Structure 1
Amino acid sequence: MGERWKWAPGYEGLYLVSDQGHVMSAPHECGGRAYAGVELSPSRCANGYMRVFLSRDGAVSNVLVHRLVAEAFIPFHAEGVEVNHINGNKADNRLVNLEWVTHRENVAHAWRNLPRRAHDRHIGRKLDAETARRIRAATGTYAQIGSEFGITPTMVGYIKQGKRWRMEDVD
């Protein structure tokens, strides 16, 4: 079976989206000439999701490809649900890789199935007074110190300013 195309929700008559995660402009006529649809090149957002820029009534919008695919091909979704990438790859916007989930289900899926980022191994880690004392005495940028001790630069700042591990707790 080949690639299936549907109108992009909210952009009917202007753009098409496929079950393989592709987006294209609709074939159209202008000035008596026929123009074939052109596949759009998605770009990667800073958070890893793929987006395309769609135009309607002179306004250009930044639209996430996985949302277009899910809204076009997965019939039911309640207000407030999210699209989960089943295999964890945010660039894989094929219909078989997408599902509607609640935020809680999406977070649980990520914790169960996706590799941890380097800093995640420090979540919940308790600092002792000696480590806090060494952090307070350390020199360098907060980022450098945080990297050395496995904590965020923000936490380094909190420790150095006495918002965490106050002076009387450490000294």
Structure 2
Amino acid sequence: MTNKEIWKPIKGYENSYQVSSWGRIRSLDRFVFKGSDKVKSIQKGQIIKPWLNSDGYLRVCLCKKGFKKYKKVHRLVAETFIPNPKNKLTVNHINEVTTDNNVNNLEWMTNEENINYGHRIENIKNTMSWKIKQIKNKTVVNIFNSLHEAEETTKIPRQSISYAVKHGTHLKNYMWERG
């Protein structure tokens, strides 16, 4: 592919929005009706600033006839620029950086291919499996390798332990911290 930025209309929003091969989204110049007297005026198009969703992906809000839809940027890029003859459902980030939505960094995959791709399983283990300290009277009485291990040993549900860790609250007469 080329390094030149190419803009194409977003399917279903052809007269309102475009997506670029670099992973940017823009609105187009359009007429809007403002105020209670519905004065027709032109609204200039602009680059839309995406936000990082809690799942680590960039999203944008697209509006059509007063209805808002929230879309993931990488999916808009893939649907617009990358052929998908086998109708695969998942868009993969080749370099595993979920905010890099350049068309050269995206590819279609099956869900199974995506789960087994690259360092994903190792990364999930490292982020989801944190050590847990069980503390009584400011003294560490146990260190667990994961929430699951803490639950197995103490018989306290891991959701409760996680809540206590995140909120710094006592649980079963112990304080709990990430180790």
* Offset from partner CA, 1:105-163 (integer Å, 9 cap, x none): 111113379756525679xxxxxxxxxxxx9xx556xxx988x22111x5423432299
Matching of residue 41 in structure 1 with residue 41 in structure 2:
no
Structure 1 residue runs of 4+, over 3 Å off? Answer: 29-36, 77-80, 110-117, 119-122
Q: Is contact 2:150–2:156 with CA below 8 Å preserved after alignment?
A: no
* Offset from partner CA, 1:6-37 (integer Å, 9 cap, x none): 11122221110000000000122346654432
Question: In the aligned structure 1, how far is the partner of 2:86 from the partner of 2:43?
Answer: 37
Aligned length: 144
Q: How does 1:58-73 map to 2 (within 5 A)?
A: 58-73=66-81
Q: How does 1:99-114 map to 2 (within 5 A)?
A: 99-111=107-119
Q: How does 1:57-136 map to 2 (within 5 A)?
A: 57-76=65-84, 78-79=86-87, 81-111=89-119, 115=123, 117-118=125-126
**Which ranges in structure 2 are unaligned for 5 or more consecutive residues?**
33-38, 158-179
- What is the RMSD of the two structures over their aligned residues, measured on CA atoms? 3.2
The one-letter code sitting in structure 2 at the alignment partner of 1:21 is: G
Match of 1:156 in 2: 150
The one-letter code sitting in structure 1 at the alignment partner of 2:153 is: I
Seen in structure 2, the aligned counterparts of structure 1 residues 114 and 33 have a Cα distance that, compared at 3 Å, is farther
Q: Is contact 1:3–1:19 with CA below 8 Å preserved after alignment?
A: yes
Seen in structure 2, the aligned counterparts of structure 1 residues 145 and 96 have a Cα distance that, compared at 3 Å, is farther
Match of 2:5 in 1: 3
Normalising by structure 1, report the TM-score: 0.69
- Residue 81 of structure 1: how far off its partner (Å): 1.5
**Which ranges in structure 1 are unaligned for 5 or more consecutive residues?**
123-134, 164-171
SS at match of 1:68: helix
> As a proportion of its length, which structure holds more strand?
2
